[in-house]
Each structure stands twice: as C-alpha cells, then as structure tokens.
Amino acid sequence: MDMNEQQHRAILQSIARRAMLERGLLPDFSAQAIAELGNIRAAATMTGRLVRDLRELLWASIDNDDSRDLDQLTVAEAMPGDTVRILVAVADVDALVENGSALDQHARHNTTSVYTAAITFPMLPEKLSTDLTSLNVNEDRLSIVVDMVIGTDGSLRDSDIYRARVRNRAKLAYNSVATWLEGNGTMPAGIAATNGLAENVRTQDRAAQSMKNLRHVHGALSLETIEARPVFDGDQIRDLQMEETNRAKDIIEDFMIAANGVTARYLSSRQVPSIRRVVRTPKRWDRIVEIAAEHKFALPGNPDSKALEEFLTKERAADPLRFPDLSLAVIKLLGAGEYIAELPGDTAPGHFGLAVSDYTHSTAPNRRFTDLITQRLLKAAIDGSPIPYGIAELEVLATHCTEEEDAADKVERQVGKSAAALLLESKIGERFDALVTGASSKGTWARLLNIPVEGRVVHGFEGIDVGDRIRVQLISTDVERGYIDFKREDRPEKDLAPAQGLVQPLAPGRSGKPG
C-alpha cells in the first residue's frame, strides 16, 4: 500500500516503537510495574513540621498547550527593597515512586519520557505522571519548593529549599500568556478567573527578564531557536508548525535555571553528592572562531563564553534575519550536554552555554530520571536521612542517563525525520536553499531554510562545513528509515535567500526547558 494511502499516525507509531526497541529503550511497562500501579489509588499526603502548607499562594503552571505532566508551579511575592521572592514548586514524585520498585526500574532503564511525532512513551505511567504526581489544577499535592529572593538586577540574594503542600490555581499555556504579556492578545481565561494572578504573573515576568539579562552579562549565550511540531489533520500530517521562544517560556527557563543552581549548591553545602548537568568547553571552538572571523569579529583562541556572547549580540543587532543561521551553526559546534556525578568537595566543569558553574536537573521528575534522583538526594538533605545512593552508583547512573538521553533523542529525531519524509514525498526533484548543520566522517547534513527539515547531503558535500549556506536538490526519501537525501548544487552565496529562522525538532513537553 502506498504511504499516502495509509494513516500517517499509525505509520509513525509503528516506526517509533521499532526505534525504541532498536535503541534498547522499553516502549511498554512490565507486568510488575502495572501491578504496582494498581495498588496506588490516591495522591501522596503528608503533614507535620517538615511540610509547610502553602496552598493559599497563587500558584500556577505555565507549559505547552498540550502538556499534561505538570512538574512545576511558580509564584512571586514583592519584597521590601524592590526585591522579589520567587518560589518554584516541583512535584514530589518520589512520594509515590519507591526507590528500587518496578516502576522505578522502568524509569531508571529509559531515564526519560520519549516524545515522538505520533506517540509519547512516558517515563512513568500516565496515571502517575499526568494525574497523581502531576501538579494539576485544584488538587492538593506534595512538592519540593525552591525559595529564592531576586534583586532588581536579577541577582540571587537568598535561597532555601523545603517540602510543602501546594495547590495549582491555573493551568496556563506559553503562547497565550506570552501574547498577553507582550500586549498582543487578551488575558488568558485562567489568569482572569483568579484574583491577583494577573499582577503576580507580571511580577514573575519582570523578575525573569532581569535574571535573563544578568545571565547574558555573565556570558550565557543568546541562541535563538524556532521549533517545529507536526500538525495532524485527523491521522494525516498536513504541516510542520513553527514555534518561537517567547516571554512566557523565558519565565520558566530562567526560573528553572536558577532553581537548578540553588539545588546544586544546597546539596553541596550539606555534603551530599549530586548529579550535575554539564556542557564542557566546545570541542570545535576553532570552527566557531573561523565563523566569527567571517563576520569580521575576533574571538580568542581559547573558549570564552563572554566573548562569544558579545559576538552573538553584535550579529543579532546587525543582521537579525540571518541570525538564526548563525545560531544553528554555533549550537551544533558547542556539543551535547552530559551528566556527571559530583562528590562533596569536587568542582564540576559547569555549563558553558548557560555560563553557570553549579547546575543540576531537578525540576522535571515526572519525565527525567536524573530529576527523580536529585529529588531523593534533596529529601535526604532536608530531612537529615541517609543518602539513598552510593557514590559508585551515582557515577554509573550519570553515565547511563547520558547514554539513554542520547538514545531517546535519536528516537525522537528518527521519527521526526520519518514525519518530514512523509511531507516531502511529493517534492522529490525540487530545489531548496539550505544551511549545513553537520559535517564529519559520518556524513554531511543540511537543513532547508523555508521548510523545517534536515537531511543528508549525499552528493557534492566535499569542501563544505557547518554554517555554510548551500543550494540542494531533494533526490529521495525513505519514510520507514527516516532518510531524506539531497545533492548539492552550486549557487553563489549572494543569491541564496535568507533563512526564515532556526528550526530545531520539538519534543512535546520539552519546550521551554533548559538543557
């Protein structure tokens, strides 16, 4: 049967399940995990001096429109001296997922929820991740709260971490909140229905903007991304929808970066080991230097995030239309993040792209196993109880989480490519402007500038490198394998149309979350 005569969603679901198995990931929960799940009938409850009651605060979640696994809530409070108190409540997933249980073993194996174009493989069953351990509207939930006082300049003045009961007042979505904050749309219904929430969200926005500005002064990189998700008409893919960063996503990104830093330092101060998220200095800094030189900017010979941010800021102001091209090249050359175990007294490499030295993953325990590990370490530090993981075990887990996150990314990319191949089947033979996104012994890759699709340059790739702009012809697609093949055609640089924006594959539920 011709691909176009089949349901695209069913095709992609089959491809996704096969890709999970090929990468060593589990698409289904074991019988033991399902049996454990059947014995969990209600959300966790706990009272006492170790658990504060913060249910009266104006907590709200801001996430993707279709997100159902709500890991965190935020709220702001104006403080004396123009400081702002920012609280981030993280779902207490550990309260229902026992360390070493069958549910925990599944989460430990996959290490992350896998979000593909047609199906999601949750790290934890949806009965937990979208219900009993999700911070759902009008439900009392246990949480870990990261409490921060932020100065007018965006600096962290004070912080604390403790356990608390919370209650979500409104489930908000990035796009509608951003449109309202930017003065281009009406107030979201969830905000309008809750007295005081409008000003609270505006206060959060102001604090996030000051925090963002300070991070970039310290060298955090201004890299623009425009994400794309498949748009289904029934079970058929009709388009790829572009999603850009916005003010609402900035709120969550900057608060989560700050909360993750506070968490890392809290554990260190209590002599508790942690798993850190690091992005080491770029292995291909020399190519970044070459690209900067092509733009008449001199970067130092050794990696320097402040100098790179100065270059990026200059280029965004000078040529905003082509800036996404530059961002894409730099993103590819920076390299991937990884997890490492940090022992008390050690010094982790830090996160080059975020320009922070202390950084962990702690704010998404429903969908990332590292965050669940961190939550258990935090609870031990808060309660003064024994540390739940040995040092050697943490080192093994850090490596495992890095490897399995890479496997999950490959599954998502493979299914995304299959979805793109379905869209491009009718365009074989057509020509496009493109940007080189990868060049190594494994192959050369390019992304089309006007359609958010990446493929391999199988002919004419000699002499091109990451960041080069080329003209390509689509010569073949293979939906089952997710292959999209181009051949390069010569065309002068000045004739190439400017990109409409950097496109990164979007995994539902991951938008707005720092890496």
Look-up of token digits 């965190």: 72
SS3 182: coil
The predicted structure's pLDDT at residue 397: 97
Give the separation between CA 324 and CA 365, rounded to whole angstroms. Answer: 32
Strands (E), 314-366: 338-342
Amino acid 44 reads A
Give the separation between CA 403 and CA 469, rounded to whole angstroms. Answer: 32
Mean pLDDT score, 160-171: 97
Sign for the CA dihedral angle at 66, 69, 72, 75 comes to: positive
Polymer length of the chain: 515
Give the separation between CA 427 and CA 448, rounded to whole angstroms. Answer: 13
Would you say 117 and 12 are in contact if contact means Cβ atoms under 8 Å apart?
A: yes
Express as a percent the part of the chain with pLDDT over 70.
Answer: 90
Give the separation between CA 515 and CA 495, rounded to whole angstroms. Answer: 36
Which helix (H) or strand (E) segment holds residue 190: the answer is helix 189-192
What is the rounded radius of gyration, in angstroms, for the C-alpha atoms of the chain? 23
When mean pLDDT is compared across 74-88, 194-208, 218-232, 325-339, the lowest value belongs to 218-232
Amino acid 135 reads L
Look-up of token digits 């004739």: 495
Express as a percent the part of the chain with pLDDT over 90.
Answer: 61
SS3 488: strand
Residue pLDDT, tens place only, 215-239: 877 777 777 755 678 888 888 888 8
The predicted structure's pLDDT at residue 229: 80
Amino acid 509 reads G
Mean pLDDT score, 349-372: 83
Q: What spatial distance separates the first Cα and last Cα of the chain, rounded to whole Å? A: 41
The predicted structure's pLDDT at residue 497: 45
